[in-house]
Structure 1
């Protein structure tokens, strides 16, 4: 029953009600006598002041003032206009049953007001013995009832429409927030999935490297020629340490892998097979490689392969297959810039060209010290640009030339 309007709203309501009371007091109290008009004006002013705080209480105060007005034979006064604001408030701010009470008040109040005014004038100068005068009074009561009901119901309906509009806006805001939360959740899932895949890749890379170290250390133990005792102890320590590190790495990364499948990891030498696979799926690839290729660690090669794989997959799913897709690999002194430029398909309802793999690609690039950008241009193209540095020579992230 009691709402909590904001302090500015309460301040405005009190100021408006005070001005309303002052203005109509100067009009009504000069033309009427007695204490009843004062109470009627105070009731209407009070109902106006609390209409947003409690629409039901405001409606009750207004009815009390009207009852006092009718039982004392007063005619309609200008302050009765506050009833319109009260009915508006019941439609806009009231609960379900308060809104129905407001509608009933609009209809019943219209009939009562018109009938009362008809009999008021009938009792003040109309000859009830004349059928014409009596018929005129009844007709004016009917017409007045229809007009009053229309005006009162219109005020209530406007309040209800405003309430519906505000509810629609609030629902739109909640829907937008839910969509944003869902998008963030999807991105978190994608990043987590990509991290799991990275864990698998790095597990295989580290496992291979440590296996080589172990094999070399074990071989050196048998191949060494000088100082067999010292060399043997040193190499035994290396082998034992590497074995322990390999076991620890397997245990730690197994927690991230979530039982993902085994298999050899792709390197830069596997890019030709990837390009042929995408061509077979329907992409018209235009491959351009510039600069002198430089050796990269296995983890960096896997990142480049996965970024290209995801970017081309997005182009296949969301792009226009009837236009060529450009793949540029520019080898620089500090690293390699990979750029995939594809046209976006004109699909109704698609707001942008971002596939769900973009966060994963950004995670891939960041974990090797690089960066990745993805954007949809105004001319309907989607461009993915990634920079993968050669270790210890990576420059600060900058935007690549478009």
Structure 2
């Protein structure tokens, strides 16, 4: 959790241990001490050095040294050497700061036990009372109570150890909180970046879909008219001039319309409100263009039309446009399409049936020829966004049928999602998914 490099963090405690050992050696040089003092000093230096890497062993050393002194294995503390017990304060701080939760909480008990053992060792094994001048103060002066002196030392040692432990633990909590805040800030930043990227992907997909809807239809009409004029010139040269002029006018009008739509789409990238969107009233122009390209189109209306939202009208227009475009591309030399609007129940039931007209030249597009199809899936997406549903499949006679349901404005405003779910449940059967492959082939 520290901002220091790992190498530096791992060398802090060993460095402190070396300083602790060297200072004590310098301070006690020239004085005669039993071997037990040097052993205890070395053990305390080791405890400080390993307090981060091996906290349990370090705690065992600071408890074990006074225990061995009380048991008589090591020589008791002396008047100038008892401050070596301060090594326990350093170990308590490091354990509170860096140890795992289980060892950190166990350290509280070790600190208390160490304080008790130090108090006993200094009063009963050492000569603490004489060091502080509490003995031999004169006749008539009562002898100090060793138990009270030991208790005082125990309390002092426990308080010092627990204060050091608390300071280390407080720093640990603060570092942990800071780390959590950094992680949260990093996660929020990553989520913000992901949100921007997702919005970008969504916008690119919408732009690609809109460009497909605008250009695919116009180019299909241009190609059909151009091919028809070329075939007519070869078949009936005497009438080719008049028909060529009409074909060129139709190509120019279609290209001009596509250019206007494309320019509006590009302008909409800067201002969505500035671009007029196609509506149901524009379907007559759409039908006129595909009719001029050689397709026979019939439109039937059933029931009384009810209002749709602007977005729903755009969806209906694009669905009809894409259906007629597919029929024009894959309908052979004599494509035929029938469009029906049935205003029944709670919305518009739209059906577009395209028939190749018995032309053997109608060749479906292989699935692998268009790895990313905007046609069929785009129509489904538009229907779902309008609160409805759409299916597309071939029947047994080879005709391609697009069926869609768009709820009326009142239903859509009340609950678009509920209408979409209800429409999908009513209109999408088990065979709809099975027909997706064939539908994509026809796109």
Question: Shorter-normalised TM-score: what interval?
Answer: 0.5 to 0.7
Aligned to 1:175: 184
TM-score under structure 2 length normalisation: 0.48
Tell me the SS of whatever aligns to 1:133.
coil
SS in structure 1 at match of 2:270: helix
Partner in structure 2 of residue 332 of structure 1: none
- 1:86 shift after superposition: 0.7
Q: Could you tell me how far apart the structure 2 residues matched to 1:14 and 1:113 are?
A: 24
Contact 2:77 2:121 survives alignment (8 Å): no
The equivalent residue for 2:297 is none
The answer (yes or no) to whether the contact 1:92–1:160 under 8 Å persists in 2 is yes
Q: 2:26 aligns to what?
A: 26
User: Is the Cα–Cα contact under 8 Å of residues 25 and 41 in structure 1 kept in the other structure?
Assistant: no
Partner residue of 2:265 out of 291, 302, 312: 302
Partner of 2:40: 40
Q: Does the CA contact (< 8 Å) of 1:29 and 1:37 recur in 2?
A: no
1:344-355 to structure 2, matched below 5 A, reads: none
Provide the C-alpha distance between the structure 1 equivalents of 2:273 and 2:39, rounded to a whole number of angstroms. 77
Counterpart in 1 of 2:7? 7
1:116-152 C-alpha deviation (Å, 9 max, x unpaired): 333344786859xx994254x3333333322221111
What corresponds to 1:166 in structure 2?
Answer: 175
Residue equivalent to 1:118: 123
Structure 1 distance, partners of 2:219, 2:170, is 72
Deviation at 1:88, TM superposition (A): 1.0
1:133 aligns with 2:143: yes
Which moved further from structure 2: 157-166 or 215-224? 215-224
Alignment of 1:312-331 (within 5 A): none
Instruction: Check 1:225–1:142 CA distance in 2 against 1; reply closer, same or farther (3 A cut).
Output: closer
Q: How far 1:209 sits from its partner (Å)?
A: 2.2
- Aligned residue number for residue 394 of structure 1: none
- 1:24 and 1:78 in contact (8 A); partners too: no
1:108–1:46 CA distance, 2 compared to 1 (3 A): same
- 2-side partners of 1:105 and 1:38: how far apart? 23
When residues 122 and 175 of structure 1 are mapped into structure 2, their CA distance, relative to the original with a 3 A threshold, is closer
Whether the 8 Å CA contact 1:107–1:149 is kept in 2: the answer is yes
**Counterpart in the other structure of 1:184:** 193
Q: Distance in 1 between matches of 2:87 and 2:111?
A: 13
Query: What secondary structure is seen at the aligned counterpart in 2 of 1:191?
Result: helix
* 2:76–2:122 CA contact under 8 A, matched in 1: no
Residue ranges of structure 1 left out of the alignment (5+ in a row): 243-266, 268-294, 312-402
Name the structure 1 match of 2:341: none
- Residues 29 and 38 in structure 1, CA contact (< 8 A), matched pair in contact too: no
8 Å contact 2:63–2:113 — kept in the other structure?
no
1:170-319 correspondence runs (5 A): 170-218=179-227, 220-221=229-230, 224=233, 228=237, 298-309=261-272
Which of 79, 82, 86 aligns to 1:77? It is 82
Question: Which structure: larger Rg?
Answer: 2
Aligned residue for 2:215, secondary structure, equals helix
Give TM-score, length-normalised by structure 1. Answer: 0.53
Q: Indicate if the aligned counterparts of 1:51 and 1:86 stay in contact, CA closer than 8 A.
A: yes
* Contact kept in structure 2, 1:92 and 1:159, CA below 8 Å: yes
Give the alignment partner of residue 105 of structure 2, picking from 100, 109, 116: 100
1:37 Cα deviation after fit: 0.8
Query: In 2, distance between residues paired with 1:212 and 1:133?
Result: 118
Counterpart-to-counterpart distance in 1, 2:273 and 2:67: 76
User: Is the 1:28–1:78 contact (alpha carbons within 8 Å) kept by the matching residues of 2?
Assistant: no
2:66 touches 2:114 (CA, 8 Å); kept in 1?
A: no
The count of residues paired between Structure 1 and Structure 2 equals 246
Distance 1:67 1:116, change over 3 A: closer
Q: Once the 2 structures are TM-superposed, how far is the Cα of residue 21 of structure 1 from its aligned partner?
A: 0.9
Counterpart position of 2:426: none
| Alpha-carbon distance between aligned partners in 2 of 1:103 and 1:41, rounded to the nearest angstrom | 23
Cα distance in 2, alignment partners of residues 310 and 132 from structure 1: 100
